[in-house]
Chains A and B, each alone.
Chain A
């Protein structure tokens, strides 16, 4: 697919400071070696089936299918991974790679905290030292994940520069790496950043699509008509899409964060809206939400995991080729789809994943009952109880927190 090393069409590349040149040379070499070593993939699959819950099931959402009266809706259950999301696929894979490279310390950026928790879990299992960079604002918003990262033995460093969110955490992780590259591997959380990260992360995440392609044929007898996935950086989408890229009849739909709406300026839709433009930052070339001077802009989404200025170069190329269609779901639509899924199916999608549900529910009725669609449920929502309860403005939850606050205050 890449025409120049690390390029997808005109997107991608490796815009890295010179001090990391040698580190990337070694990293590319190590990745090249495992990529062509079938025992590595076998080791990876074995780890994911014993430490996590792979293969994850494909669930037929019968009630929602009936209710919407169109296509049969299937849900790929990445929520049933260890640590509750598809993030584990990438992180455990990179953990095996780090072990082969002989490094002893891992660092990572995290937005909502999912990738941080997954990385801290991997570090605990493999015995690596671990530092997680997290925007100060996210540290304040995502205390439960910070709690678990610290319990897992990671050091969580709040990042106070820039907008104090995910992109600033990425910058901070790079700054650590340029200082400690000999001992340390940077476990990038998504299919973004300088080559070979997009290719590496997409490779580990392809396990989702490999499974889903087989499962839908076994359970439904044929390929799906459409596949839906939410897109922040794009790793869960790339994961499932890769299972169907060579089947042109399967339409692939990426759903971005529409935030308050695409015309409000408060969203994180790079491809579904017209606000983004080509740029180079954070080590790669992609479509960024930036101003006319090239300064990155603030983004907004109810789902912290989709709240990012850039998007995978691989997905931008697939979008340009017309292979992947991009849509956006607003915060309000997301809460409604989440509510409906919980009540009708007894399944709690993460706020990020709920974006994919929104678009699938909008379109299911256009298709016939003898067709299938797949929604990639990238993560589970119940562990984000603080965020989701807050987004629902649930009154009894608020009372509980107030009471708990009083109790803690009295203990001081």
Chain B
């Protein structure tokens, strides 16, 4: 409930929220620190921090490479938790963890929830854990008040969306198109119909992600969903122009 309430509060002042994505330890924790500071200063409303995994099945080339490079530099799950604790203590916005299920499983699901809750993480996005496999996960999410962010896809039927919405909390992550992260999305009539379906089936705020790169994309979402997610584009930007480019980029988005 905490994340949902925090988002409701933020939405009293803004008509569209921005969620950005970072891969922990890529290009380094020092760079992550600067990027997050710039994001928060320029008005980002929430941040998903990806704990790198060796098999990032749902990600595209940009984020795969970031996962791989981070692991090659020796990034450990423990360090990710420490870094997250520091960010949450420093910045007032909600922080979420995004990762793949094996990271939680291997850490111990209960321990991971307890440790994440202790540092103030407000939500988890686990793209390879459908609710059918996540019975215990969903119960723990309630117990620790960490929102389980579930995903809608254009291939989801209305019936399926209702099942997911009943298990979700915080917001719904609406994947804008088929495929993996990082390639272009066309925001056309079919997309608007899909978002309208998402709205009808879910009582939670909607976040739209996959392929959002500029102000035009954010404008296409405004009024239809509550949160625009900027993922691969953030990483591409830091790769090409360095951490200092993040602030101006975010400021130009809305």
Known: A14-B132, A18-B130, A21-B160. A293 touches B55 (CB 8 A): no
Cα A6 to Cα B135 in complex, Å, equals: 15
B191 an interface residue at 8 Å Cβ cutoff?
A: no
Q: Shortest beta-carbon distance, B135 to chain A, in Å?
A: 10
Q: Is the CB of A17 within 8 A of B133?
A: no
B205 an interface residue at 8 Å Cβ cutoff?
A: no
Pick from A18, A162, A280, A283: contact of B54, CB below 8 A.
A162
Q: Shortest beta-carbon distance, B250 to chain A, in Å?
A: 28
Segment 1-34 of A: residues with Cβ below 8 Å from B: 13-23
Is chain A's binding surface mostly helix, strand, loop or mixed? mixed
Known: A280-B105, A290-B106. A19 touches B54 (CB 8 A): no
Q: Is the CB of A18 within 8 A of B55?
A: no
Cα A18 to Cα B174 in complex, Å, equals: 10
Contact with B along A151-188 (1 / 0, CB 8 A): 00000000001100001000100110011110000000
In the complex, what residues of A have CB within 8 A of residue B130's CB? 14-16, 18, 21
In the complex, what residues of A have CB within 8 A of residue B180's CB? 175, 178-179
Known: A17-B128, A22-B157. A282 touches B55 (CB 8 A): yes
In the complex, what residues of B have CB within 8 A of residue A292's CB? 106
Q: Is the CB of A296 within 8 A of B127?
A: no
In the complex, what residues of A have CB within 8 A of residue B54's CB? 162, 295-296
Segment 119-177 of B: residues with Cβ below 8 Å from A: 127-130, 132-133, 150-157, 160, 164, 175
Which among A20, A22, A175 has the greatest number of chain B C-beta atoms within 10 A? Answer: A175
Q: Is the CB of B101 within 8 A of A280?
A: yes
B8-16, B63-71, B90-98, B192-200: which lies at the interface: B63-71
Q: Is the CB of B107 within 8 A of A19?
A: no
In the complex, what residues of B have CB within 8 A of residue A22's CB? 155-157, 160
Q: Is the CB of A17 within 8 A of B107?
A: no
Cα A39 to Cα B21 in complex, Å, equals: 52
Q: Is the CB of B103 within 8 A of A15?
A: no
Known: A175-B180, A179-B180, A280-B101. A296 touches B55 (CB 8 A): yes
Known: A161-B64, A162-B68, A279-B102. A18 touches B152 (CB 8 A): yes
Segment 48-107 of B: residues with Cβ below 8 Å from A: 53-58, 60-61, 64-65, 68, 71, 76-77, 100-103, 105-107
A294 an interface residue at 8 Å Cβ cutoff?
A: yes
Q: Is the CB of B102 within 8 A of A294?
A: yes
Cα A67 to Cα B170 in complex, Å, equals: 70
Cα A293 to Cα B107 in complex, Å, equals: 7
Pick from A21, A283, A294: contact of B128, CB below 8 A.
A283
In the complex, what residues of B have CB within 8 A of residue A290's CB? 102, 106
Cα A359 to Cα B164 in complex, Å, equals: 49
Pick from A18, A279, A282, A295: contact of B57, CB below 8 A.
A282
In the complex, what residues of B have CB within 8 A of residue A179's CB? 178-180
In the complex, what residues of A have CB within 8 A of residue B58's CB? 17, 175, 178
Q: Is the CB of A18 within 8 A of B101?
A: no
Q: Is the CB of A18 within 8 A of B76?
A: no
Cα A290 to Cα B71 in complex, Å, equals: 13
Q: Shortest beta-carbon distance, A308 to chain B, in Å?
A: 12
Pick from A18, A175, A279, A295: contact of B151, CB below 8 A.
A18
Contact with A along B104-119 (1 / 0, CB 8 A): 0111000000000000
Segment 175-219 of B: residues with Cβ below 8 Å from A: 175, 178-180
Between-chain CB contacts (< 8 Å), 6 pairs: A15-B101, A15-B133, A18-B127, A18-B152, A19-B153, A162-B55
Q: Interface on B for A, CB 8 Å cutoff?
A: 53-58, 60-61, 64-65, 68, 71, 76-77, 100-103, 105-107, 127-130, 132-133, 150-157, 160, 164, 175, 178-180
Q: Interface on A for B, CB 8 Å cutoff?
A: 13-23, 161-162, 167, 171, 174-175, 178-181, 277-283, 290, 292-296
Q: Assuming A14-B132, A15-B133, A179-B180, what are 10 further A-B pairs, CB within 8 angstroms?
A: A15-B128, A18-B151, A19-B178, A22-B160, A162-B64, A279-B106, A280-B102, A281-B102, A294-B106, A294-B107
